[in-house]
Amino acid sequence: MLGDDQFRKLTAPFLCRLRTLVPLTPHEERFIETLDLPPHVFQAGAHVNKGGSLDFTPWIVGAGWACRLRVLPDGRRQIVSFFLPGDTIGLSEVHHPAIQSTIVAMTDLRLLNSTRLAEAIDRADQSVPNIIQACRMSVIWMQARLLDQILRLGRLTALERMAHLLLELHYRMEDVGLAQDGRFPLPLTQSQFGEALGLSLVHVNRTLQQLRRENLIELRPGRVAILDRERLELLCDFRKPAI
Amino acid sequence: MLGDDQFRKLTAPFLCRLRTLVPLTPHEERFIETLDLPPHVFQAGAHVNKGGSLDFTPWIVGAGWACRLRVLPDGRRQIVSFFLPGDTIGLSEVHHPAIQSTIVAMTDLRLLNSTRLAEAIDRADQSVPNIIQACRMSVIWMQARLLDQILRLGRLTALERMAHLLLELHYRMEDVGLAQDGRFPLPLTQSQFGEALGLSLVHVNRTLQQLRRENLIELRPGRVAILDRERLELLCDFRKPAI
DNA sequence: CGTACCATTGACAGCCCTCAAAGCAGGTGG
DNA sequence: CCACCTGCTTTGAGGGCTGTCAATGGTACG
């Protein structure tokens, strides 16, 4: 279920991600490429941070998708954020009980242990200054995406929310080299879209149909194509994450 | 418009806040108490981070309320988070253009310049280890509150959202010694409640009336009383921020 | 061929929004 | 002292966006 990523180097997305933030020295590129292979594998549906000493391990997503999830006692579920290939888990953002959320693998997942990276950051290792700078920027990006999510849920209509989320995912996949020509793998069910966007499954379905009717996207299970990015951005006031 | 806080030491709330997180040494208490007085004053409605060199100054809120706000081109506004006395601005969380938001004073505001504190954190100053630890924890709390906001907007009904936010604000005011017996100053208009909770002004009004009818809160302009915290928490699955 | 999961469609209800107007309190100036 | 203004709160009516319930279809897999 890892799709096209299966045979790529698992460090490639993270390298892409860092290079969108800062230029790296050859030494730094090697530092990343040697980060703890082989990967730790979680199956779709597994909890990445539920019990065990792995709870506080910092990871880099090599392949597959995960999400941060909050569940209410009555069963309502809210997806807070997504982790895509090249994202860090528990490094730029935080593992802590106070966060009261679970990290769930949405597909089969290959994670790289980034403890060495975390240590380098902690002691401000002078041999990898750009990496440290990039990770600092990455904290900011992650925060900005949380604010995006708040804006979507608080102020956008269903149609706008869906468009806005698709654009965010597109940009993120493009950044790590996993989107070509507006097309990228999208392993979300409509129910999961609903959990992320605060909508019911049924309404997600109707919203997606509307986007298709207007020739803004193409969607088949597991894959999406952004047909008219500009019009889609206009529709939902999406602001390209500049700088 | 600063209410009861007017004559308190402006560093008091921040000291309270830190002490809820870690114990401080006498040296550390003095370090806080000498943080750059007199305060920088913003009038209600002013933008704290809009243009000028003050943009990247890290602050501590001494008195008054502020919020982080996102505005859409068509005028829709979403309050992302609140800054209460004792909170930091641009220290635990981030000033950066990518965040695409404005920090607005909701009341007259007295801010302490915390550049000295920021520098102490940056160079890991060994004379104030507990303060640094507390600021690290504070980042986590701030993130947790963003997730709370996402949960409210994505999964709670209007009544639940309102209850949940009131409880959060109550706990935060209580932590910094500004709530007694469930009562605390609440300088929000119903319109601002709406901007924070993703509701219309009219619906905020009706929701507040419902909470009053059920004897859960008392509310008069500028001030609120939580009458039955336990029932209110039950109503919205509020989880006390433990640990 | 049955099972399970996901996508799709229809009918209907309800939560919440918009529009509109009236009440209320504080501040200002005549 | 009162008229007036301004900003906030309150109330009513009606509509629309979105949720819930229920059933059907499609596809992968055993």
Digit-coded pLDDT (tens) for A103-131: 999 999 999 999 999 999 988 899 999 99
Q: Work out the average pLDDT over A141-154.
A: 96
Residue type (1 letter), A213: R
Residue A6 pLDDT > 70, yes or no? no
Residue A243 pLDDT > 70, yes or no? no
Residue A51 pLDDT > 60, yes or no? yes
User: Measured between CB atoms, which of B73, B140, B155 is closest to A98?
Assistant: B140
Which one, of A94, A85, A96, A1, lies nearest residue A45 by Cα?
A1
pLDDT band at residue B33, thresholds of 50, 70 and 90?
Answer: very high
Q: Work out the average pLDDT over A38-51.
A: 88
Residue A62 pLDDT > 50, yes or no? yes
DSSP state, A47?
Answer: B
The CATH class that applies to domain A156-236 reads mainly alpha
More confident residue, A56 or A185: A185
Bases on strand C under 7 Å from any protein CB: 5-11, 15-20
| Percentage of chain A modeled with pLDDT above 70 | 94
Report CA torsion sign: A14, A19, A21, A26: positive
Pairwise CA distance, residues B118 & B48, whole Å: 18
More confident residue, B2 or B139: B139
Residue entry with tokens 């009980």: A97
Note the pLDDT of residue A23. Answer: 97
From-to residues of CATH 2.60.120.10 in chain B: 4-142
Residue B210 pLDDT > 80, yes or no? yes
Residue A73 to residue B146, Cβ atoms within 8 A: no
Yes or no: say if A70 and A80 are a contact pair by the CB < 8 Å rule: yes
Substitution target in A95, A155, A156, A236 with the highest count of B β-carbons within 10 Å is A155
pLDDT band at residue B97, thresholds of 50, 70 and 90?
Answer: confident
Note the pLDDT of residue B36. Answer: 74
Note the pLDDT of residue B242. Answer: 66
Note the pLDDT of residue B214. Answer: 95
Helix (H, G, I), strand (E, B) or coil at A125: coil
| Percentage of chain B modeled with pLDDT above 90 | 80
Encoded tokens for B117: 């504190």
Note the pLDDT of residue B243. Answer: 62
Chain A neighbors of B150, CB-CB under 8 A = 70, 78, 80, 146, 149-150, 153
Buried b / exposed e across A163-173, counting CB within 10 Å, b at 16+? bbbbbbbbebb
Residue B140 to residue A96, Cβ atoms within 8 A: yes
pLDDT band at residue B172, thresholds of 50, 70 and 90?
Answer: very high
Pairwise CA distance, residues A185 & A222, whole Å: 6
A202 touches strand C (CB under 7 A): yes
Note the pLDDT of residue B67. Answer: 97
Note the pLDDT of residue A5. Answer: 45
Note the pLDDT of residue A2. Answer: 39
E runs forming strands in A153-211: 183-186
Residue B52 pLDDT > 90, yes or no? no
Pairwise CA distance, residues A217 & A228, whole Å: 7
Report the residue of chain A nearest B123, measured CA to CA: A124
CATH topology of domain A4-142: Jelly Rolls (2.60.120)
Note the pLDDT of residue B96. Answer: 84
Highest mean pLDDT among A149-158, B6-15, B27-36: A149-158
Digit-coded pLDDT (tens) for A180-220: 999 999 999 999 999 999 999 999 999 999 999 999 999 98
Note the pLDDT of residue B3. Answer: 41
Q: Work out the average pLDDT over B146-153.
A: 98
Chain B neighbors of A153, CB-CB under 8 A = 150, 153-154, 198
Strand D-proximal residues of B, range 182-201, CB below 7 A, are 189-191, 201
Residue A143 to residue B80, Cβ atoms within 8 A: no
Arithmetic mean of pLDDT over chain A: 92
Half-sphere exposure of A20 (CA within 13 A, CB side): 20
Report the residue of chain A nearest B138, measured CA to CA: A98
Note the pLDDT of residue A95. Answer: 78
Q: Work out the average pLDDT over B156-164.
A: 98
Q: Which of A17-31, A83-97, B115-129 has the lowest mean pLDDT?
A: A83-97
Helix (H) or strand (E) holding B19: helix B12-21
Digit-coded pLDDT (tens) for A223-232: 999 999 999 9
From-to residues of CATH 1.10.10.10 in chain A: 156-236
Distance from CA of A36 to the nearest CA of B (A): 27
Arithmetic mean of pLDDT over chain B: 92
Residue type (1 letter), B206: R
Q: Work out the average pLDDT over B99-118.
A: 93
Residue B78 to residue A243, Cβ atoms within 8 A: no
Rounded to 10 deg, the angle between the A115-122 and A129-155 helix axes is 100
Q: Which of A95-109, B18-32, B69-83 has the lowest mean pLDDT?
A: A95-109
Pairwise CA distance, residues B79 & A151, whole Å: 9
Note the pLDDT of residue B1. Answer: 39
Which one, of B206, B202, B208, lies nearest residue B232 by Cα?
B208
Note the pLDDT of residue A96. Answer: 84
Report the residue of chain A nearest B195, measured CA to CA: A154
Which value, in Å, is the radius of gyration of the alpha carbons in chain B? 18
pLDDT band at residue A7, thresholds of 50, 70 and 90?
Answer: low
Note the pLDDT of residue B175. Answer: 95
